[in-house]
Chains A and B, each alone.
Chain A
Amino acid sequence: MQYDHIIITTFYSMAFDSKVPKGPLENKWTEYKDHCKLVNPANKRKLEIIVIGTGLAGASAAASLGEMGYKVKSFCFQDSPRRAHSIAAQGGINAAKNYQNDGDSVFRLFYDTLKGGDYRSRDSNVYRLAEVSANIIDQCVAQGVPFAREYGGLLSNRSFGGVQVQRTFYAAGQTGQQLLLGAYSALERQVALGNVQVYDRHEMQEVVHIDGKARGIIARNMMTGELERHFGYAVLICSGGYGNVYFLSTNAMGSNVTAAWKAHKQGAYFANPCMTQIHPTCIPVTGDHQSKLTLMSESLRNDGRIWVPKQKDDKRKANQIPEQERDYYLERRYPAFGNLVPRDVASRAAKERCDAGYGVGTTKQAVYLDFTEAINRYGKIECGKHGIDNPSAEIIRHHGLEVVKEKYGNLFDMYEKITGENPYEVPMRIYPAIHYTMGGLWVDYELMTSVQGLYCLGEANYSDHGANRLGASALMQGLADGYFVIPYTLGNYLAGEIYHKPISTDHEAFATAEKQVAQRIAKLMGIKGKHSVDHFHKRLGKIMWEYCGMARNEAGLKQAIQEIRELRAEFWQDLRIPGSDKEYNPELDKAGRVADFLELGELMCLDALDRAESCGGHFREESQTPEGEALRNDEKFMYVSAWEFKSVGEWELHKEPLIFEKIQPTQRNYK
């Protein structure tokens, strides 16, 4: 096989410096803030910063940097920054506030996040995340984000998977929307004040390097096709995750890896690319024309119970199966955490039941998520509150339904619209789907990539979630990076840059980068083959899901690499893009993104092949406990893989060793 001829060169060294401050874990960030360099206000006004993406990380960064006095250029491919895909996050945002007096603390949030990530993230970054988490809630409340509240007027919390405290703040099932609109308003305020300029319907196509530093970008105006040169003293990639490499995912249709991938090809290392999150509770695939999958928030696992019939291939309807013939398999296997085990564990357990023949629905690739008991329980509580003695089952149900509706109404409505079934009456059918990517551009403690002046924030970087992200931690990380980390770390770099004059976009490096982009677009337009972009994207998605999805093995991954290479060759010979590149052309936009996915997919498989252990969402069939749980191999794989791009299909692997100062990694146990 072609793959066998590739030699992965590896360096187990500190070839790249992660710049973690010295001193005890709990003092590092304070120490850093006390000693980092600052830029004086008069100089900030002269410094232009480029921010790619307007999700939670990008919008919060652009707004905060604008407030500080920098001149910010903010880019998004959507028609408005408010539409970035953070808007779709449902469940909530974690913070170590301990408002519930249930024993929460910065250390516990840190520990849960590190353990949840199966000890494959850098502890100093995770500790800082836990430290700033409380400030995020304060900031958002000050902006007018309408979080859910109790009758006393104080903030309400709920539980999420993988933890035993209630630290998740939420706004019904639309927390991401409310947080993003908060960041978006802050951003628009800076636009009004003239500190930020937004370039919507623009896509970053290339990073411009001058003297080894990122100094700008080439962006394409998607409405006119015009290529634009933008100078900046620093470039921040906040472009989200790469889940759409699987074609079917819970990501938005436009979510893509392009900005991060261009940065990677220009020298930024890509870390832990195989680490993807498969969310256990999504609406199952129903047909061939399906364009995306829809998530049902993890918050539903607070109250919903997951089950399959005890009998194989049971043809009865859910409501006809009596209680004693149901297998609540998560409660059975993991009594301590029950339905609230972390996402990777819940996903694999669903796959195990379905593969063993216990799946439900027409495709048999689904399990039930049932609210009957919660409706009953809440109904009884409400009847008690209202002083109703001996309520009938009907009255209990009536009151219970009201509570469930208030908590999850929008999710239930969404389910009904998609499936045509009423989840208040019959249990939801759910199945795991690609949802989030923990991997991303490698960053140091300052969120700088391996390229000077090129930063990466939010889901686009690999930094905080290791091999598995806990629920309600993505919103926390996006906002932590944008509001509370980058305002300090960027200044530390820019303080040294004020001595350089702005560079004209007539500089040769801009011309060369623009020419490269123009040539790539011309090449795509010139193929004039037979098939649409989606045709190739769907095929890539099938390969990725089959071989680099919920379970992976050596033979499959090698097979996948081979198939991806063949598909990539076919793409460049047989793609058809109608129209011209000098107008709005969504097929051309998609083609550029899929061309990048076709390169990334190979790297994901390569990384999964290299990591011959199971950890978090990365499950290598060769490495499991007798009970089928993920089995880590800390002796060989206690590192972050950071891949350096050499040429298409060729990388060099660097390894950042992981050393844990305060905790001893153990086999994760949620039983």
Chain B
Amino acid sequence: MSFLEMFDVLNERLIEEGEDPIAFDHDCREGICGACSMVIDGKPHGPWAQNTTCQLHMRAFQDGDTIIVEPWRAKAFPVVKDLMVDRSAFDRVIQAGGYISVNTGNPADANAIPIDKKSADDAFAAAACIGCGACVAACKNSSAMLFAGAKVSQLALLPQGDPERKTRVIEMVAQMDKEGFGSCTATGACEATCPKGISITNIARLNKEYMRAILSSEEA
């Protein structure tokens, strides 16, 4: 039985007993949509490494264990109800520049831009972020640097992202500050918690991009 199926059983029982069920976010239940978000025994997404809450199974626990479950805790993620939080701050960070400005139309042939395999693989590894927010929940400063770093890195590693690389990193960092995410003090808790194993080197790359942007751009 999975951890969330345990919640299903609990809620089913609460409903039949006339009580209110516990509200929690979940959807795909296969570790990719990023909806589920529980701090389990003090760890975002629970005890298993590189795992989401929905992919945690009850065999991770012993019979009779007391399990403490809490919502994500961060100023930028206000609690909505029970175990649910509002993560729309992440959408606004993406709105600030997490894209390549290309309209639907007639772009060049896909193979017209060869990209070396390593850059492509590194960009993919950064792009694997599911936007769950565990990095923020794990960070003592509630910093969103791993989330933003992953997107900045993906687009900085690809030639398509080059024209906007300066404005992108500056705007996204500004938006993070505005949303109330904290600063990064490089404790590495985010990387250790990330269900997709997003590397902290993406934060280093964001910092490099940021320095490059403010040192070389007059607009900044």
* B1-56 residues at the A interface, CB under 8 angstroms: 1-2, 4-5, 8-9, 11-12, 14-16, 18-21, 23, 25-35, 48, 50-51, 55
Query: Which of chain A's residues have a CB closer than 8 A to the CB of B120?
Result: 146-149, 153
Cα A353 to Cα B137 with chains together (Å): 48
B112 to chain A, nearest CB (A): 9
Q: Which of A67, A141, A583 contacts B160 (CB 8 A)?
A: A141
Asked if B23 contacts A85 (CB within 8 A), the reply is no
Asked if A200 contacts B88 (CB within 8 A), the reply is yes
Cα A587 to Cα B8 with chains together (Å): 11
Most chain A beta-carbon neighbours within 10 Å: one of B51, B110, B115:
B110
Is B158 close to A, CB under 8 A? Answer: yes
A262 to chain B, nearest CB (A): 21
Asked if A188 contacts B106 (CB within 8 A), the reply is no
Asked, given contacts A99-B111, A138-B108, whether A88 binds B117 with beta carbons under 8 Å apart, the answer is no
4 A-B pairs closest in CB distance: A153-B114, A185-B99, A142-B107, A146-B124
Query: Which of chain A's residues have a CB closer than 8 A to the CB of B31?
Result: 414, 417
A409 to chain B, nearest CB (A): 11
Q: Which of B30, B59, B104 contacts A294 (CB 8 A)?
A: B30
Asked if B100 contacts A79 (CB within 8 A), the reply is no
Q: Which of B15, B18, B96, B117 contacts A150 (CB 8 A)?
A: B117
Query: Which of chain B's residues have a CB closer than 8 A to the CB of A188?
Result: 91, 94-95, 98-99
Is B128 close to A, CB under 8 A? Answer: yes
* A39-61 residues at the B interface, CB under 8 angstroms: 60
Asked if B32 contacts A174 (CB within 8 A), the reply is yes
Asked, given contacts A79-B25, A178-B124, whether A146 binds B94 with beta carbons under 8 Å apart, the answer is no
Closest-by-CB residue of A relative to B7 is: A291
Query: Which of chain B's residues have a CB closer than 8 A to the CB of A290?
Result: 5
Q: Which of A177, A294, A414 contacts B128 (CB 8 A)?
A: A177
Asked if B88 contacts A80 (CB within 8 A), the reply is yes
A478 to chain B, nearest CB (A): 14
B53 to chain A, nearest CB (A): 12
Q: How many residues of A contact B (CB 8 A)?
A: 80
Asked if B104 contacts A141 (CB within 8 A), the reply is no
Asked if A85 contacts B28 (CB within 8 A), the reply is yes
Asked if A88 contacts B33 (CB within 8 A), the reply is yes
Cα A97 to Cα B154 with chains together (Å): 25
Is A420 close to B, CB under 8 A? Answer: yes
Q: Which of A140, A252, A418 contacts B55 (CB 8 A)?
A: A418
A333 to chain B, nearest CB (A): 31
Binding stretch for chain A, among B61-69, B79-87, B183-191, B202-210: B79-87
Of the A-B pairs whose beta carbons lie under 8 Å apart in the complex, a sample of 22, sorted by A's number, is A64-B103, A79-B84, A79-B86, A82-B34, A138-B106, A138-B109, A139-B107, A140-B110, A146-B123, A148-B120, A149-B121, A154-B114, A186-B104, A188-B95, A189-B99, A192-B95, A252-B33, A417-B51, A417-B55, A576-B15, A578-B15, A586-B21
Size range of the chain B interface in the assembly: 35 or more
**Majority DSSP secondary structure for residues of B touching A:** loop
Cα A287 to Cα B57 with chains together (Å): 13
Asked, given contacts A80-B91, A185-B99, whether A414 binds B55 with beta carbons under 8 Å apart, the answer is yes
Cα A144 to Cα B2 with chains together (Å): 35
Closest-by-CB residue of A relative to B82 is: A584
B19 to chain A, nearest CB (A): 7
Cα A178 to Cα B4 with chains together (Å): 26
Q: Mark B145-160, 1 if CB is under 8 A from A, else 0.
A: 0000000001100101
B163 to chain A, nearest CB (A): 12
Is A289 close to B, CB under 8 A? Answer: yes
- Residues of chain A whose beta carbon lies under 8 Å from any beta carbon of chain B: 60, 63-64, 67, 78-83, 85, 87-88, 97, 99, 135, 137-144, 146-155, 171-172, 174, 177-178, 181, 184-186, 188-189, 191-192, 198, 200, 223, 252-254, 287, 289-292, 294-295, 413-414, 417-418, 420, 483-484, 487, 530-532, 534-535, 576, 578-579, 583-584, 586-587
Is B181 close to A, CB under 8 A? Answer: no
Cα A198 to Cα B30 with chains together (Å): 25
Asked, given contacts A153-B114, A155-B110, whether A418 binds B160 with beta carbons under 8 Å apart, the answer is no
Most chain A beta-carbon neighbours within 10 Å: one of B16, B18, B27, B105:
B27
A322 to chain B, nearest CB (A): 32
Cα A184 to Cα B5 with chains together (Å): 29
Closest-by-CB residue of B relative to A142 is: B107
Query: Which of chain A's residues have a CB closer than 8 A to the CB of B116?
Result: 149, 153
Asked if B51 contacts A88 (CB within 8 A), the reply is no
Closest-by-CB residue of A relative to B29 is: A292
Cα A487 to Cα B106 with chains together (Å): 13
A166 to chain B, nearest CB (A): 14
Asked if A143 contacts B19 (CB within 8 A), the reply is no
Is B180 close to A, CB under 8 A? Answer: no
Asked, given contacts A189-B99, A420-B59, A532-B15, whether A83 binds B27 with beta carbons under 8 Å apart, the answer is yes
Cα A396 to Cα B165 with chains together (Å): 43
Asked if B9 contacts A289 (CB within 8 A), the reply is yes
A300 to chain B, nearest CB (A): 15
Cα A80 to Cα B89 with chains together (Å): 10
Query: Which of chain A's residues have a CB closer than 8 A to the CB of B1?
Result: 287, 289
Asked if A291 contacts B110 (CB within 8 A), the reply is no
Cα A579 to Cα B22 with chains together (Å): 11
Asked if B8 contacts A142 (CB within 8 A), the reply is no
Cα A635 to Cα B21 with chains together (Å): 54
Closest-by-CB residue of A relative to B99 is: A185
Is B220 close to A, CB under 8 A? Answer: no
Closest-by-CB residue of A relative to B91 is: A80
Asked if A253 contacts B104 (CB within 8 A), the reply is no
Asked if A578 contacts B160 (CB within 8 A), the reply is no
Is B170 close to A, CB under 8 A? Answer: no
